Amino acid sequence: MQAKYLGLELASPIIVSSSPYTSTVRNIEQCAANGAGAVVLKSIFEEQILHHAAALDAVSDSAYGDADVYLQRYLGEDYKAGFLRLVGEARECTGLPVIASINCVADSSDWIEYASMMARAGASALELNIFIQPTEVHTGARELEQRYAAIVERVVKAVGIPVSIKLPMRLTNVFSLSNQLLGRGARGVVFFNRFFEPDVNIEQMAFVESSPYSEAAELRNVLRTAAICSAVLPQLDLAVSTGVHDGEAAVKALLCGAHAVQVCTALHKNGFGAIAEMNEFIDRWAERQGFGSLEEFRGRLNFKSDTSSVFQRVQYMKYFPSEAW
| Interacting residues with ligand FMN (CB under 6 A) | 17-20, 42-43, 101, 129, 166, 193-194, 212-214, 241-244, 263-266
Which CB atom, from 19 or from 231, has the smaller least distance to ligand FMN? 19
Q: C-beta of 242: minimal distance to ligand FMN in Å?
A: 4
CA 215 to chain centre: 17
Distances (CA, A) of 5 to 131, 164, 223, 305: 23, 10, 18, 22
| Choice between 64 and 195, CB closer to ligand FMN | 195
Instruction: Report in angstroms how near the CB of residue 127 gets to ligand FMN at its nearest.
Output: 7
Q: Provide DSSP, 213-245.
A: PPPGGGGHHHHHHHHHHHHH-TTSEEEEESS--
Closer to ligand FMN by CB, 72 or 101: give it.
Answer: 101
Question: Residue 96 Cβ, how far from ligand FMN at the closest point, in Å?
Answer: 16
H or E stretch at 99: strand 98-104
Smallest distance, ligand FMN to C-beta of residue 126, A: 12
Q: Minimum distance from CB of 102 to ligand FMN (Å)? A: 9
For ligand FMN, the closer CB: 187 or 194? 194
**Structural Rg of the chain based on CA atoms:** 21
CB-based contact 99:188 (threshold 8 Å): no
CB of 45 to ligand FMN, least distance (A): 7
Give min distance, CB of 103 to ligand FMN, in A.
6
Cis-peptide, bond into residue 45, ω within 30° of zero: no
Contacts of 79-82 with CB under 8 Å at 24 or more apart are 79/44, 79/48, 79/49, 79/52, 80/44, 80/49, 80/114, 80/117
Q: Which residues contact 274 (CB under 8 A, 6 or more apart)?
A: 34, 246, 263, 266, 267
**Between residues 115 and 263, which has the closer beta carbon with respect to ligand FMN?**
263
Choice between 10 and 244, CB closer to ligand FMN: 244
- 208/317 with CB nearer ligand FMN: 208
Nearer to ligand FMN, 243 or 257 (CB): 243
71 vs 115, beta carbon nearer ligand FMN: 115
Is beta strand 199-201 parallel, antiparallel or unpaired with respect to 206-208?
antiparallel
Distance between CA atoms of residues 233 and 252, nearest Å: 19
We find the least distance from the C-beta atom of residue 18 to ligand FMN, in angstroms, to be: 4
How far apart, in whole angstroms, are the C-alpha atoms of residue 284 and residue 278? 10
Residue 138 exposed, middle or buried by CB count within 10 Å (0-12, 13-18, 19+): exposed
Distance CA 90, CA 97 (A): 9
For the bound state, the minimum distance from the C-beta of residue 38 to ligand FMN, rounded and expressed in Å, comes to 13
Among the listed residues 30, 116, 46, 113, the one whose alpha carbon sits nearest the alpha carbon of residue 79: 46
